[in-house]
Amino acid sequence: MMTITFALLLAAFVFNLSDLPRTAMACLFLCFALVTGIFLWEIYSPDYGFRMPWLQVDLRHVVTAESA
């Protein structure tokens, strides 16, 4: 996936040098969207994601007077 990101950045650079600014900006936008998607997948994936205890929410059984 990072190869695609770098390829899009290189394409944006080449298109900018070729005086095609709209195409270069389109490549930059696609690169930003791809990187955002990869980041969110890495954070929220239960199998491959990072372990961040401050972001994890667990439903735990809370003992109340009615359930005891």
Give a three-class secondary structure readout of 17-66.
HCCCHHHHHHHHHHHHHHHHHHHHHHHHCCCCCCCCCCCCCCCCCCCCCC
Sketch the domain layout of the chain as residue ranges.
Answer: 1-68
Per-run averaged pLDDT (10 residues), the chain, 68 residues: 90 95 95 90 71 61 66
What is the model's pLDDT at position 12?
A: 95
What is the model's pLDDT at position 26?
A: 96
Task: Give this prediction's pTM.
Answer: 0.63
